[in-house]
Amino acid sequence: MATVNIRATVNGAERVIECEPDAPLLDVLRQDLGLSGPRFGCGVGLCGACFVLIGGRARSSCDFPAWAAGGQDITTVEGLLYEGTMHPVQQAVVDEQAAQCGYCTSGMIMSAVALLRANPAPTAAEVRSALDGNLCRCGSHQRIVRAVLRAAAQGTDVQDTGVRQEEAR
Amino acid sequence: MSGSPPPSPSLAANPRLSEWLDFSVDAVVTIRPGKVEYGQGVWTALAQIAAEELDVGLDQVLVAGVSTSSSPDEGVTSGSRSIEDCGGALRQVCAQVRAAFLAETAEKLGVDAAGLGVERGAVRTPGGQAGLTYWSLDEAALLDRAAQLTAAAKSPAQWSVAGRSAPRIDLPDKATGRPRFLHDLVLPGMLFGRVIRPPAPAATLDGVGEADLPAGVVVQVRDGSFLGVIAESDRDAVTAAERLARAARWTVRESLPDEDDLKGFLLSQPTEDQPVVQRPDTEAAARVERTCAAEYTRPFIAHGSMAPSCAIARWDGDQVSVWTHSQGVFPLRGALAHGLGLDPAQVTVRHVEGAGVYGHNASDDAAADAVLLAREVPGRPVRVMWSRPDELSWGPLGPAMLARLSAGLGTGGRIQTWRQDVWSNGFVGRPGIGGEPRLLALSHIAGGTPISAAPDGVPSGAMGATRNAVPAYDIPDLEVTRHRLLTMPLRTSSLRSLGAFLNVFAIESFMDELALAAGADPVGFRLAHLSDPRARRVIEEAAAMSGWAARPREGDRAGGTGFGLAFARYKGTSGYCAAVAEVAADTSISLRRLWLAVDVGRVINPDGVMNQVEGGAIQSASWALRERVRFDRTRITSVTWESYPILRFTEVPEVAVRIVAAPGEPETGAGELAQGPVAGAIGNAVADAVGVRVRDLPLTTEQVTRAIEQS
C-alpha cells in the first residue's frame, strides 16, 4: 500500500511520519517513533493498554488509523513528564504503589489525566467510571483509584504537562 | 528465631555463593535470583533480604535478570514459593558472606570480629571506618566457596530493611512508559514473526492457496500444521498472517465437550482414581445422625494476561538464544532442547519481564514459535507476538472441575464424616513435564509430539487438582479421592492456586450448608471444628473487620444484601486466609466489599503482601462472578474481552486486607492464598442474599436464576 506523510504533534513536538494511511496509530507511536509507553493489549480498543490523549481525550490508539491522526495533538505517557519530573498522576501511582505488572498502567494514567483536566475534583465513583475502559488483570484497581484521588487532592495547582506545553507555546 | 533453618532447596541445588551474588560493580551488590519478576514485586522483597543480611543500602542492590547462562536454577517461579525458596537461599548466602567478610577483615585488622559491624557495605570498627568494603576484598576468595549453614541470619527483631514496606523498584519505569517489557525490546536486525494457528484444537493443515503478501515478507514457514510468516515489520507480518489465514485449507474435527454440561463431560471421561486421604473412623461413622451431600463445579478459566505472549529467538550456527517471559527459563530450555533434538548447552534462555503471570500461560509456546521461525533466518533475531484471540484460546487453560462432597453430622452439630471426590484435568502441564516438550508449536509440526493429558502431581492435598481438597477442619472420618481425566479436549495446566479455587469454594460453601443444617452460625461452626490457633485467629480477625456479629440479618436488612465468610490454609501447609464478602443481589449480583485477614508468617514487605492479597482477591472475584471459557463443539469462542469479560473498575469491590502478625513463624507466599477463600465468601454471601445455594461457578445472574428456579 502506498504510504502517506502524516503531520501531527506528538508530546509537544511537530512530527512528520511516513506510513500506510490505515496503519494503527499505536504501531506508528511504538514502531516509528520508538515510544514504548502505549502498549498493545487487544488490538480492537477493548482493554485500554494503548490509551493516549488525542486532542485531550483519552482513547485507544490500536484501532485509531494513522490518517485520522493528521493535525492532531497527541500525548503519550512519556509526554506527561516535564523536565524529567513525573506528572502528579504518575507520581501518585508510584506513591500509592498502584500497580503490579504495570502493563496497563500507562493507559490508565492517560484516562486519569483526561479525567482530571475535565473534572479536577472527582469522586471515587467518577474515577471508577472514567477508568472503566481500562482493564487490569492483576487486581490493582483500588490502588489506582486511590492514586487518582491523591493526585486530585493536590488541588487546583496541579499542573499537568499538556497545560504547561500549551502555556509555553 | 532463625538459629538453624533448614537449607533452602534452591541453595542445595545451587550451593556456590558466587552463583547468587557478586561485587563486580563498585558500591553495588548484584544479586542473581533464579526466580523471575512478573509484577508480584518479588525482586523488591529479595533485594530487601539481601540488603538486610549484607548490611548494604537497598539502593545498593541490583537484581540481575534470570538467564540459563548466569543464574542459579530454581526451576519455575510458581506456587507462591519465591520468598521461601529464593529468599531463604539469599538470606543464608548473604549472612555467610557478611560473616566471612567480617572474619577476614578482623584478621587483617588484628581485632575481634565481634566488635565489627557493616554499614552500606563498609566495615565499621569501634573507632570508625576502616576503609575496607565488600568491594575492596578479593571477591573470588569471598564468594568462590560452598554455602554453609553456620552463619546465623538476623532475627526479625534485628531487621531494619526487611519487614518494612519498601517501594517497588520497577514502578517508576512502569509509570513513565520506559521500555521494560519484552514487548519493548528491539534487537539489532530484528525481524517480526507471526503464527497462523489452526481454526480449532483438532485441525490439520491440508494446504495453503495463493496469497498476496506484503513486500516486507521475508519468508513463509510451513511444517505440518505449523504455519508462520516472517517480515521486516510487525505490521507486514500481521497483514501477511491475516491473508495466509484466509488462504489456508484445514480439516477441522469436532472434539470439544458440551459447554453447558461440564459435569456430564467430567463424569463421562476415563479417569485415573487415586486416594488423597483415607482415614476411616468407624466409631465416628456410627455417631452420624444426618447426612448432607452437594456438588460444586467450576468452568474452564483463561489466564487473560493483559499482554499477548511474546518471545524473541536468534540462531547463531547451532546455538539458539531465546528471550522470553516464561516462568521457568531452565525447564523451557530443557523442553526446547528435547523437542528439537539439541543439547541443552546449545540453548540459552533469558527472562525479560512481560505482563502479569498467573500460571502456565502461552509464554513458553511463544518462545517455541520464535525458535522455529528464527531457524529460517540464521543470525537474525525474530520476534513473535501472539494475537489477543490466540492468547485467549490457544494458551493453556485452568481446567473445569467437579467436587462432590458428603458429610455426616452427629450430636451437637459436630462433623463426624467427610467424603470429597474431585474430577479434573491435570494442572501440571508445563514444558518438560512427563518427559514431553509440551510446547504448542512442537505439537503442530510434522512428526511433532502431541500434548498428552496433563499430569497432576502427587495427590497430596497440596498439588494439582487436590490442592486444598483436604479440609483443614477437625474431622475424624475422612476420605478424599482424585479422579484425573485421561482425555484432554482443551489443553489445561497451572492457573493460580490450582485446584484450591474450586476445592475451597466447595468446602466453604458446604461448611455453610452444614452450619445451616446444624442451626449454627457459620463463624461459630467453623471455630468449633478448628483447633489450629492461627486458623482461628484469621477467622476471628476477618469477622471483626467486617462487623460480622452485627451484620444486618434477614428481616432487618435492606433487601438483597448478603454476607459470607470463608477460610483456608493454602495448600494445607502454607499461609492462612479468611475472607468476608458483602454482596447486593438485585437484578444482578454485585460484590460491594471484601475483608481479608491473612497470616503469612514473618513478612519481608508488608505492602507487597497487601498488594498481592488485594490483587488475588479481585482476580478471584472476577473468576467467581464472571469468568467462563466459552466454546462450541469445535473451537473456543470467547476470544475477545467482550466474549470473555473480566471485572471492571465499576464492578470491583472495595478490599480491606489485614496482616495478622506472626513474626516467629517462617514466611509463606501470599500470591495465591486469597483465591479460594474469596470465592467461598462470595458464594456464601450470595446464598445469604438470595436464600438459595448456587453451586456452579461463575455466579452470574443466569446461574443464580437457574438455581432459584431449581430450588
Closest-CA residue to A106 (of B666, B306, B645, B639) = B306
Could you please report the per-residue DSSP string of B484-541? Answer: EES--SS-B--BTTTTHHHHHHHHHHHHHHHHHHHT--HHHHHHHT---HHHHHHHHH
Binary contact (A97, B171; C-beta < 8 A)? yes
Dist CA B200 CA B518 (whole Å): 49
**What's the pLDDT tens digit per position in B327-344?**
999 999 999 999 999 999
> Is B421 inside a domain boundary?
yes
List, as ranges, residues 108-137 from A with C-beta within 8 Å of B. 109, 127-129, 131-132, 134-137
Dist CA B122 CA A23 (whole Å): 56
In this structure, are B382 and B445 located in the same domain? Answer: no
Binary contact (A35, B177; C-beta < 8 A)? yes
In this structure, are B192 and B48 located in the same domain? Answer: no
Binary contact (A97, B640; C-beta < 8 A)? no
Percent of chain B whose pLDDT exceeds 90: 92
In this structure, are B237 and B335 located in the same domain? Answer: yes
In this structure, are B88 and B21 located in the same domain? Answer: yes
**H-helix or E-strand spanning residue B624:** helix B606-625
For residue B62, pLDDT over 70 is answered with yes
**What's the pLDDT tens digit per position in B104-136?**
999 999 999 989 999 999 999 888 777 899 999
| pLDDT confidence bin for B1, thresholds 50/70/90 | very low
CATH number at residue A70: 3.10.20.30
Cβ–Cβ < 8 Å for A77, A113: no
In this structure, are A42 and A96 located in the same domain? Answer: no
Mean pLDDT in residue range B524-529: 98
> Is B585 inside a domain boundary?
no
Dist CA B14 CA B8 (whole Å): 10
Binary contact (B306, A105; C-beta < 8 A)? no
**H-helix or E-strand spanning residue B125:** strand B122-125
Out of A79, A100, A129, pick the residue that ends a domain: A79
Residue burial B68-90, b: 16+ Cβ < 10 Å; e: rest? beebbbbbbbbbbbbbbbbbbbb
For cell 509430539, what's the residue?
B449
Identify the closest residue of chain A to B652 by CA–CA distance: A141
> Is B79 inside a domain boundary?
yes
In this structure, are B162 and B76 located in the same domain? Answer: yes
**What's the pLDDT tens digit per position in B608-660?**
999 999 999 999 999 999 999 999 999 999 999 999 999 999 999 999 999 99
Identify the closest residue of chain A to B214 by CA–CA distance: A1
Binary contact (B177, A44; C-beta < 8 A)? no
User: At B67, is the secondary structure helix, strand, or coil?
Assistant: strand
Mean pLDDT in residue range B583-607: 95
| pLDDT confidence bin for B711, thresholds 50/70/90 | confident
> Is B203 inside a domain boundary?
yes
CA distances to B268, B288, B410, B428 from B281, in Å: 31, 11, 13, 33
3-state secondary structure B552-583: CCCCCCCCCEEEEEEEEEHHHCCCEEEEEEEE
Out of B482, B506, B530, pick the residue that ends a domain: B506
CA distances to B354, B700, B706, B707 from B645, in Å: 22, 12, 20, 22
Residue ranges of alpha helices (H) inside B351-411 are 363-374, 388-394
Identify the closest residue of chain A to B644 by CA–CA distance: A46
In this structure, are B334 and B481 located in the same domain? Answer: no
The domain in which residue A12 lies consists of 4-79
Out of A18, A45, A79, pick the residue that ends a domain: A79
Dist CA B609 CA B682 (whole Å): 22
| pLDDT confidence bin for B5, thresholds 50/70/90 | low
B387 close contact with A: CB closer than 8 A: yes
Cβ–Cβ < 8 Å for B517, B305: no
The ipTM is 0.95
> Is B619 inside a domain boundary?
no
For residue B4, pLDDT over 90 is answered with no
Out of A79, A108, A129, pick the residue that ends a domain: A79
In this structure, are B187 and B167 located in the same domain? Answer: no
Out of B174, B203, B220, pick the residue that ends a domain: B174
For residue A162, pLDDT over 70 is answered with no
**Range in A107-116, B124-133, B254-263 the model is least confident about:** B124-133
Could you give the number of structural domains in chain A?
2
Cell of B314: 536468534
> Is B567 inside a domain boundary?
no
3-state secondary structure A2-62: CCEEEEEEECCEEEEEEECCCCEHHHHHHHHCCCCCCCCCCCCCCCCCCEEEECCEEEECC
Binary contact (A49, B615; C-beta < 8 A)? no
User: Which among A36, A93, A101 has CB closest to B38?
Assistant: A101
For cell 492457496, what's the residue?
B209
For residue A167, pLDDT over 50 is answered with no
Q: Considering Cα of B199, then B204, then B209, then B211, what sign does the dihedral take?
A: positive
Cell of B450: 502431541
Close Cβ partners of A46 (under 8 Å, ≥ 6 residues apart): A135, B640, B641, B642
List, as ranges, residues 517-536 from B with C-beta within 8 Å of A. none
**Which one has a higher pLDDT value, B38 or B225?**
B225
In this structure, are B132 and B118 located in the same domain? Answer: yes
User: Which among A44, A100, A142 has CB closest to B652?
Assistant: A142
For cell 567478610, what's the residue?
B101
Question: Strand B319-324 relative to strand B310-316: parallel, antiparallel, unpaired?
Answer: antiparallel
Dist CA B663 CA B54 (whole Å): 21
**H-helix or E-strand spanning residue B273:** strand B271-279
In this structure, are B376 and B475 located in the same domain? Answer: no
Binary contact (B640, A42; C-beta < 8 A)? yes
Residue burial B250-280, b: 16+ Cβ < 10 Å; e: rest? beeeeebbebeebbebbeebebeeeebbeee
Cβ–Cβ < 8 Å for A143, A99: yes
> Is B655 inside a domain boundary?
no
The domain in which residue B333 lies consists of 182-253+307-394
Dist CA B687 CA B304 (whole Å): 28
Mean pLDDT in residue range B394-406: 98
Could you give the number of structural domains in chain B?
3
Mean pLDDT in residue range B78-96: 92
CA distances to B71, B114, B335 from B91, in Å: 16, 20, 31
Cβ–Cβ < 8 Å for B508, B548: no
Out of B106, B139, B174, pick the residue that ends a domain: B174
CATH number at residue B99: 3.30.365.10
In this structure, are A24 and A96 located in the same domain? Answer: no
In this structure, are A94 and A66 located in the same domain? Answer: no
Q: What is the pTM of this model?
A: 0.96
Percent of chain B whose pLDDT exceeds 70: 98
